[in-house]
Structure 1
Amino acid sequence: MDKIQHKFVNVGALKLHIAEIGNGPNVAVFLHGFPEIWYSWRHQMIALAGAGFRAIAPDYRGYGLSDPPPEPEKTTFSHLLDDLLAILDALSLSKVFLVGKDFGASPAYLFSILHPERVIGVITLGVPYAPPGPSMLHKYLPEGFYMLRWKEPGRAEADFGRFDAKTVVRKVYILFSRSELPIANENQEIMDLVEPDTPLPSWFTEEDLSTYGALYEKSGFRTALQVPYSR
């Protein structure tokens, strides 16, 4: 962890945080999901650096140590794609491997389509490619499914707002570590699906939780609830 370096890249009026390690000729850029940040990729970054790669993990705008956009509610995937291009240009990276997890897979797919000359290859986890377009989740999943709930204007904000950032992250990671889909009853909120005394997953430590909690305490969840849960 100590060998991972941190810097900021100016993208328009925003300063975006970049974590990086290694100095090999091939570069892998890691794109996080939610409720993740650059820190989610720390083990993979160190491993790749040991294998001779340069590994880079940005925090999206409004996430982690990156500046929030002036109007978080207007943030879209297009902004993430523009930010990624600006980061590659600022770091003088002509071509990279893109590694995306969770909703980070979407900008990896779309960037490779829009800027194929800048991408060597794409690796994704958890989300298959789907052409851009309206979500069809409402046709196949009940109203209480977490993604549908979080698309309702103001509902997730009110749900999250009952707890501090560390507790929200704790509850979300517990929910996402289960085999069943997070689905709430009609008069129940998503955060209420986790009892206060539920233990953390075995692979997620209290130190990890403190790190995530501190960074989300800084950034808040306004941008995170727009991308990927845009209204």
Structure 2
Amino acid sequence: MNPLKPQTKTLKHTPKVCLKKMDQIKHTYVHVNGLKLHVAEIGSDSLPVVIFLHGFPEIWYTWRHQMIAVANAGFRAIAPDYRGYGLSDIPAEPEKASFTDLVKDTASILDSLAISKVFVIGKDFGSMVGYTFALFFPERVAGIATLGMPFMPPGSFEDSLALPEGFYMRRWQEVGRAEADFARFDAKTIVRNVYILFSKSEIPIANENQEIMDLVDPSTPLPSWFTEDDLAVYGDLYQKSGFQTPLQVPYRSLADTSAYPKQGLKVEAPALLIMGEEDYLFKFPGMEGYLKSGEVKKYVPNLEIVYLPKGCHFVHEQFPDQVNQLILGYLNGNKN
């Protein structure tokens, strides 16, 4: 069975009650922009609201620890699956999906739920969706927190082209190369491999005659904080959605700057960036200097950066208690 092509099936696995209140997370669908999008939700219907935006290879479930924590603290937590991800509909032409679509979907989801203002929390490329949303709708953003990726101005990833041809992002931008690589495995194995690769402190780079999936020895265990039950949830949902939309957004859309406003690239809302000190993102050309020199604050002047020792790219799943404490301190310090 080709995991790149969407499958119609009943999911074998649903998230188990491995966390307190996990069974209290509601799952609803909203019809926006011609698609039925899945939204996970927990907490009272009153304000303030926190919207969680996932990265890759993630889905709403990546936020399970944070959703429960903020709901316990009196916030309403919502976490959508992007179009083409998880339980959300796949667009008719996934190869044409864009960051603009995800930003519009985010606004439409909030409109559908009658939510006028939110705290935005984004992980990985979800930070790009969140920050772009904040640029277009500043009046709707009470604050923005991101994990594993800061605000990135247009053209930021051009420096990464200096990395070798086997750099995972370059490979996944190449139409057909990733498809052939992924098609050798089921969805669960692909997610397993990506979680293992992205948990390391080195950038995944393949040799000339090697594919990205071959960088992981099949005997390599999952990270200790990511269970087989967790993997089963991801695997089933990616088996449903396939990987065509995720390959398009983010990887094949990174050079498209049309999602950004033409001017005014500054987010004035209070902002928080949480980075694991061992996140492989620090190895991207110019990234460490961009963060530690303060250049990022040209775009996000009210930004606080917190570095977690031994933290990897999935720091919110690796150290949920520490991340939850930081997020709750940020939310409570900025709510009206």
- Give the TM interval when normalised to the shorter protein: over 0.9
More deviation in 122-131 or 64-73? Answer: 122-131
1:136 counterpart SS class: helix
The alpha carbon displacement at 1:178 in A equals 1.1
1:55 correspondence with 2:77: yes
RMSD of aligned C-alpha atoms?
1.1
Does the 8 Å CA contact 2:33/2:105 hold for their aligned counterparts? no
Q: 1:217 aligns with which of 231, 236, 239?
A: 239
Give the corresponding residue for 1:118: 140
Residue deviations 1:81-121 (CA, integer Å, cap 9, x gap): 01001001000000000000001000111100011111110
The alpha carbon displacement at 1:25 in A equals 1.5
Residue deviations 1:7-61 (CA, integer Å, cap 9, x gap): 0000122100000000142000000000000000011000000000000000000
More deviation in 51-60 or 16-25? Answer: 16-25
Alpha-carbon distance in structure 1 between the residues aligned to 2:87 and 2:206: 32
1:224 counterpart SS class: helix
Give the corresponding residue for 1:148: 170
Identity of aligned residues (%): 68
Cα distance change of structure 1 residues 177 and 66 upon mapping to structure 2, 3 Å threshold: same
What letter matches 1:64 in structure 2? Answer: G
Give the corresponding residue for 1:13: 34
Does the 8 Å CA contact 1:4/1:21 hold for their aligned counterparts? yes
Does the 8 Å CA contact 1:59/1:65 hold for their aligned counterparts? yes
The alpha carbon displacement at 1:140 in A equals 3.2
The alpha carbon displacement at 1:65 in A equals 0.1
The alpha carbon displacement at 1:135 in A equals 3.1
What letter matches 1:21 in structure 2? Answer: I
Alpha-carbon distance in structure 2 between the residues aligned to 1:148 and 1:137: 12
The alpha carbon displacement at 1:132 in A equals 2.1
What letter matches 1:56 in structure 2? Answer: I
Alpha-carbon distance in structure 1 between the residues aligned to 2:64 and 2:185: 27
Give the corresponding residue for 1:184: 206
Residue deviations 1:202-230 (CA, integer Å, cap 9, x gap): 01100001110000000000101001011
2:125 counterpart SS class: helix
1:10 counterpart SS class: strand
Does the 8 Å CA contact 1:65/1:219 hold for their aligned counterparts? yes
1:210 counterpart SS class: helix
Q: 1:38 aligns with which of 31, 52, 60?
A: 60
Alpha-carbon distance in structure 2 between the residues aligned to 1:138 and 1:17: 33
2:247 counterpart SS class: coil
The alpha carbon displacement at 1:134 in A equals 6.8
Cα distance change of structure 1 residues 195 and 228 upon mapping to structure 2, 3 Å threshold: same
2:23 counterpart SS class: coil
4+ residue segments displaced more than 4 Å = none
Alpha-carbon distance in structure 2 between the residues aligned to 1:138 and 1:97: 30
Alpha-carbon distance in structure 2 between the residues aligned to 1:71 and 1:104: 21
Cα distance change of structure 1 residues 195 and 6 upon mapping to structure 2, 3 Å threshold: same
Does the 8 Å CA contact 1:73/1:223 hold for their aligned counterparts? yes
State the TM-score, normalized to the length of structure 1: 0.98
2:235 counterpart SS class: helix
Alpha-carbon distance in structure 2 between the residues aligned to 1:183 and 1:12: 37
Give the corresponding residue for 1:70: 92
What letter matches 2:27 in structure 1? Answer: H
Alpha-carbon distance in structure 1 between the residues aligned to 2:155 and 2:98: 13
Aligned length in residues: 231
2:142 counterpart SS class: strand
**Structure with greater Cα Rg:** 2
1:173 correspondence with 2:195: yes
Give the corresponding residue for 2:117: 95
Alpha-carbon distance in structure 2 between the residues aligned to 1:134 and 1:122: 20
Structure 2 stretches lacking a partner, 5+ long: 1-21, 254-336
